[in-house]
Chain A
């Protein structure tokens, strides 16, 4: 059996068991309404997590995601509400800025050879600071185009609503899967994450790939920001604090190795869904506080990291046994 797939199976199993336990306790959770809401509520998290998956697959990390979401939200609110720009134009401007921002971070990481961790930390401060410079208030967005997007949904059998942003997340995941597993760029990412030096020697354009990865992460953070702004109909500079941790947790729970090179975009989707299930369970229960989410996610993080560690040890033993044969 392929040990690389084992974390993914484990995640899937936990997801199914968790959902079964929830349904056993609250039969109402087995409905398309809950499923639809789960997709809608976690749409921004999922979209950002796809970008984070690529970054982590390449062996890096992007701490600027949460700030970028807040930045996009505030920028959209300022452009639409204060300057009367059409949302579509504002979307384009926001995506352009966040993509460039990501690309610049990628360039710094590659050319100056500094850890991704500290560069994206600077990016995190900078993006959050730019929010505050634009405004410290929460700006509401009232635009008919927003209402139109918010009101458009596909009615699932059973009364559930597959909203526009939920749909968008599913599309992003589908594109992410194609990009990761069926494109040249995707195989470059795996190569760089597996071993940068040998990737470079094999002729992988490491510079272009690194910049591309962080640009993609910036673009998806921007998209997540747009979704978040559609979700909340407002821009607030203190929004989405700590989302980078949630996305990293989703990626790791989804079975991606934090050392890079191993993982699946589909796993991240399950990671996001598991977090969503925990939150929904807490809402249904009513007596538990939301901080249980953090503890459960922490425990899951630990179990998956430990599982990966064991698998890596096992496979390295197997290679050694193979070599000594």
Chain B
């Protein structure tokens, strides 16, 4: 067992080291970074803030990991967040009780995910194309729901999801942690994770082996939509309103980035939900660090781009295949044309 843990730790080393490095840089920029204090029964501090702000992306990354492991990608999560936020806000303003609002919103997310899943599994569309449709149309639908305006609400029970706390821990962190535990348990304590990986590695072989790959893909995309709706509720509750244009804008890219930083390959196959969550925390730590050090928040984009490039390079060179390819291209150009 301890051997296994050592193995897992070595594998997670690059991510853990970079997280530590970023946290250390944050500490240099802002000496009070590691201070955590309890105030009015809720934990406060920059570290808590990193987790709290990172919670929506962590939740998105959980769903996105399953999708990417199945060799797909879901571009629509940002738009689905906008739809669910718009729905939650509009229904709350219309006076529906909280349980119905939450159920309807999560249901809408599931429906969006099912739509993507049907296109990918039964229409055999490329995932990028299939989810592009909802990415374009989703914000339009969200604006249809809010009728083009920014809907604000003041319902304490819904706001609790964004800014409330339970046992001192802010709700977003709690929700993300709960979802993380449930997802990891379901995926690793049953054969589900294995089946997802097998679809990602070779879908037709999995089908021949007797796997109902279509149904499984449907479930994966529906789950991703569900996660997006959950993240949408948290964001809407946090800002006490729904902005159909800007809610979740570009978060699909953050979620994909989190999964890639966590080490899951974009070509499907082996995945780790925990590592994706770690990836999301790394991204958020970078975000917070830039804000704390006084740089304009826009520098974040450049940093993210550099992170992507570094990861691509390291992935490409760490695999022996990359080296052989480079060698074949550059070193043995003459020998190739015999």
Question: Which residues of A pack against B, CB within 8 Å?
Answer: 61, 108, 111-115, 117-119, 121-126, 128-133, 136, 207, 237, 245, 248-249, 252, 258-259, 289, 291-295, 297-299, 301-302, 305-306, 309
Contacts and interface: CB of A to CB of B under 8 A. Distances in A.
Q: List 8 A-B pairs, minimum CB-CB distance, nearest first.
A: A298-B137, A132-B298, A294-B140, A129-B302, A129-B301, A126-B305, A295-B140, A125-B305
A117 B73 contact: yes
Interface in B293-319: 296, 298-306, 308-309, 312-313, 315-316
Contacts of A108: 309, 312
B309 to A, nearest CB: 5
B211 interface: no
A111 B328 CA distance: 10
A309 B322 contact: no
Given A125-B308, A128-B301, A133-B298, A298 B136 contact: yes
Contacts of B303: 129
24 contacts: A61-B128, A108-B309, A117-B266, A118-B256, A118-B266, A121-B257, A122-B304, A124-B305, A125-B253, A125-B301, A129-B299, A129-B304, A130-B302, A131-B298, A132-B298, A132-B301, A136-B298, A249-B136, A294-B136, A294-B143, A295-B137, A298-B137, A305-B130, A305-B133
Contact of B144 (A119, A122, A295): A295
B126 interface: yes
A113 B298 contact: no
B305 A123 contact: yes
Question: Looking at B137, B257, B296, B325, which has the most chain A CB atoms within 10 Å of its CB?
Answer: B137
B316 A112 contact: yes
Contacts of B135: 245
B302 A305 contact: no
Interface residues of B, number: 49
B129 interface: yes
Interface string B10-53: 00000000000000000000000000000000000000000000
A74 to B, nearest CB: 12
B312 A119 contact: yes
Given A108-B312, A132-B299, A309-B124, A113 B140 contact: no
Interface in B211-261: 244, 253, 256-257, 260
A315 B246 CA distance: 42
A291 B312 contact: no
A207 B326 CA distance: 12
A298 B308 contact: no
B312 A136 contact: no
Question: Looking at B141, B260, B312, which has the most chain A CB atoms within 10 Å of its CB?
Answer: B312
Q: Which secondary structure dominates where chain A touches chain B?
A: helix
A292 B148 CA distance: 10
Contacts of B138: 298
B265 to A, nearest CB: 10
Q: Which secondary structure dominates where chain B touches chain A?
A: helix
Contacts of B267: 115
Given A249-B136, A293-B140, A112 B312 contact: yes
B325 A299 contact: no
B296 A132 contact: yes
Nearest to A289: B148
Contacts of A132: 296, 298-299, 301
Interface in B169-184: none
Contact of A112 (B256, B302, B322): B322
Contacts of A124: 305
A25 B302 CA distance: 48
A291 B143 contact: yes
Contacts of A136: 296, 298
Contact of B133 (A61, A111, A125, A302): A302
A123 B309 CA distance: 9
Contacts of A119: 312
A305 to B, nearest CB: 6
Interface string B112-138: 000000000001111011101111111
B126 A259 contact: yes
A259 B148 CA distance: 35
Contacts of B298: 128-129, 131-133, 136, 237
Nearest to B124: A309
A125 B302 contact: yes
